[in-house]
Amino acid sequence: MGTYARQNIVFARGEGAWLETENGERYLDFGSGVAVNALGHAHPRLVAALTEQAGNLWHTSNLYRVAGQEKLAERLVEATFADKVFFCNSGAEACEGAIKAARRYHFVSGSPERWRIITAEGAFHGRTLTALAAAGNPKYLEGFGPEAPGFDHVPFGDLAAVRAAIGPETAAVMVEPVQGEGGVHVGSADYLRGLREICDEAGILLVLDEVQTGVGRSGKLFSHEWAGITPDIMAVAKGIGGGFPLGAVLATERAAVGLTPGTHGSTFGGNPLATAVGSAVLDVVLEPDFLESVQQKALRLRQSLARIQDQFPSLVTEVRGQGLLTGIKVSVAPAEVVAAALAERLLVVGAGDNVVRVLPPLTVADHEISEGVDRLARALSHLSKSIT
Ligand SMILES: *Cc1c(COP(=O)(O)O)cnc(C)c1O
């Protein structure tokens, strides 16, 4: 169907931060499949985990215990605030699961009237009907019938607006620690701490959508660690599967209390192939020094992008981000920068608010950062010539 305005290019294989077309043209991938290929392409540990699992068992359904799913859940519980994990296949499903968990928590805790969720303007939570209503972007909602009810939108970063929006029907606040699709808007540590306090005072749940920020992208395993707080419920996807479709809802024991047998489910969720890859991703990301190295690479990338801003001040008006979730705000349409970069065989990704996202794999080498930034500089140079 005509849902995508695709670039006219087909990739045949990939390795690390590089993609290659059938004709052998090599592209430097600073989009990572929209923050999905956390460990780059064809990471040997992921290939081994997937092929080994493929020879043993693909799918049994959630009618039975799934060994690899239990293993990955235990690893996630050990590494995070969570006591409970539900597996699904995508970010939108993870957000839906998080919303359902939050509503059911109040339902079984004696406050069934609490079902509304406060969300942030500029958010992105996926393309299911409820996730679209949660984000409230009119562009994505148009023509799809009545908007799913139950969401109150407030400006991102505005604690007073959250306080004012809380009413007797409020169940939770749900935000991304960094708005990715919305244009790499970083929620400050004070904002996240404030949300935690407000939710505790009001007896409502804090739900974080870490679908894009999670699994090392922010330089921590999860972005909320930068603020020193923990959510009650968290949606995870994208990087956790390293390119294999996998999502998860993580929650504390208390917040997960409503999701009893039969209340939620998924046919494919947490299937042996997906969770074998997920465990391998986590093995690498949790190795000593891995996240430290992501932070160092992020600093290097940010400094290089700042130099580009100095070089092209009329084209690049801001550099922002957290970890390797980086964005440059540009004064032309982001699609023009994406196209100019593609001509230099560099992949970057557009976002809202006139931002181009620079999302190299977490395993990117220092010389690849230099190469990518050089290519971006060449692309911007061509663009600035064609404008003036
Ligand atoms: C990508 C994204 C989603 C949706 O993920 P899908 O896998 O496309 O459903 C939800 N939330 C955030 C923050 C995202 O970046």
209 Cα to the center of ligand 1, angstroms = 8
Please provide the average confidence, as pLDDT, over all residues in the chain: 97
**Cα dihedral 313, 318, 320, 325 in deg (nearest 10):** -70
State mean pLDDT over 336-358. 98
Which of ligand 1's atoms lies nearest the C-alpha of 237? 7
- Count each helix (H run) and each strand (E run) in the chain, helices first: 12, 17
Tokens of residue 359, six digits: 């999302």
Q: Using 50, 70 and 90 to split pLDDT, how confident is the model at 388?
A: low
**255, pLDDT greater than 70:** yes
- Give per-residue pLDDT as tens, 103-128: 999 999 999 999 999 999 999 999 99
Q: Which run of H or E residues covers position 349?
A: strand 349-351
Residue 206 in 3-state DSSP?
Answer: strand
What integer pLDDT is reported at residue 96 of this predicted model?
98
- Ligand 1 atom nearest to 181, measured from its CA: 15
Which residues contact residue 359 at a Cβ distance below 8 angstroms, ignoring those fewer than 6 apart? 30, 31, 32, 34, 35, 217, 324, 325, 326, 348, 349
pLDDT tens-digit series, residues 134-177: 999 999 999 999 999 999 999 999 999 999 999 999 999 999 99
Write down the residue that tokens 């293993």 correspond to: 71
The residue whose C-alpha atom lies closest to atom 15 belonging to ligand 1 is 212
Beta pairing partners, 172: 117, 205
Closest atom of ligand 1 relative to the 247 alpha carbon: 7
**Pocket mutation for ligand 1, best pick of 211, 233, 355, 359 (most atoms within 8 Å of C-beta):** 211
Give percent of the chain with pLDDT exceeding 70: 100
The number of angstroms, rounded, from the C-alpha of 242 to the middle of its chain's C-alpha atoms is 12
The helix (run of H) or strand (run of E) holding residue 309 is: helix 290-311
Which ligand 1 atom sits nearest the alpha carbon of residue 245?
A: 7
Q: Predicted confidence band at 61 (pLDDT cuts at 50, 70, 90)?
A: very high
Residue whose CA is at the smallest distance from ligand 1 atom 11: 125
At residue 377, the pLDDT reads 98
Asked if residues 215 and 323 have their Cβ atoms less than 8 Å apart, the reply is: no
Whether 349 lines ligand 1, by a CB cut-off of 6 Å, is no
Separation between Cα atoms, residue 321 and residue 327, nearest integer Å: 6
Rounded to the nearest angstrom, the distance between the alpha carbon of 238 and the centre of ligand 1 is 7
Give the H or E element holding residue 112. Answer: none
Cβ atoms within 10 Å of 366's Cβ, excluding its own: 12
Tell me if 58 sits within 8 A of 221, measured CB to CB.
Answer: no
Q: Average pLDDT for residues 339-351, to the nearest whole number?
A: 98
Mean local confidence (pLDDT), 13-42: 98
Q: C-alpha distances in angstroms, 369 versus 122, 203, 260? A: 29, 45, 47
| 316 in Cβ contact with 337 (< 8 Å) | no
Say yes or no: CB of residue 94 within 6 Å of ligand 1. no
pLDDT digits (tens, 9 = 90+) for 187-226: 999 999 999 999 999 999 999 999 999 999 999 999 999 9
pLDDT at 271: 97
Alpha-carbon span 308 to 331, nearest angstrom: 14
Q: Mind listing the domains of the chain with CATH numbers?
A: 11-30+288-386 (3.90.1150.10), 45-285 (3.40.640.10)
Nearest to 158 by CA among 121, 133, 132: 121
Does the C-beta of 209 come closer than 6 Å to ligand 1?
Answer: yes
Give the residue, out of 3, 124, 185, 234, with the most ligand 1 atoms within 8 A of its beta carbon, to mutate for a pocket test: 124
Give 282-296 pLDDT, tens digit per residue.
999 999 999 999 999
Pocket flag, ligand 1, residue 95 (CB < 6 Å): yes
Determine the pLDDT at residue 387.
Answer: 76
Counting Cα atoms < 13 Å in the Cβ hemisphere of 357 gives: 29
The response to whether residue 125 sits with its C-beta less than 6 Å from ligand 1 reads: yes
Q: Which of 37, 96, 125, 208 to mutate to test the pocket of ligand 1 (most atoms within 8 A of CB)?
A: 125
CB within 8 Å of 301: residues ≥ 6 apart: 324, 326, 358, 360, 369, 373
Q: Are 205 and 234 in contact (CB under 8 A)?
A: no
| Gap between the terminal Cα atoms of the chain | 38
Structural contact between residues 188 and 157, judged by C-beta atoms closer than 8 angstroms: yes
State residue 386's pLDDT score.
84
Which of 95, 129, 215, 223 most suits a substitution to test ligand 1, by most atoms within 8 Å of the C-beta? 95
The answer to whether 250 and 234 are in contact (CB under 8 A) is yes
Q: Is 90 in the pocket of ligand 1 (CB under 6 A)?
A: yes
CA distances from 298 to 292, 320, 352, 358, 364 (A): 10, 11, 21, 10, 10
198 C-beta closer than 6 A to ligand 1: no
Question: Which residue owns the Cα nearest ligand 1 atom 10?
Answer: 125
179, β-bridge pairs: 185
Rounded Cα distance between 326 and 212, Å, is 12
Q: In this predicted model, what pLDDT tens digit does every residue of 293-310 receive, in sequence order? A: 999 999 999 999 999 999
Cα 216 to Cα 166, 285, 322, 361, 377, distances in angstroms: 32, 7, 11, 10, 27
**Cβ of residue 248 lying under 6 Å from some atom of ligand 1:** no
Cα(253) to centroid(ligand 1), Å: 24
Look at the alpha carbons of 303, 304, 310, 315 in this order and tell me if their dihedral is positive or negative. Answer: negative
Distance, in Å, from the CA atom of 248 to the CA atom of 255, rounded to the nearest integer, reads: 15
Quick check: 249 and 98 in contact, CB under 8 A?
yes
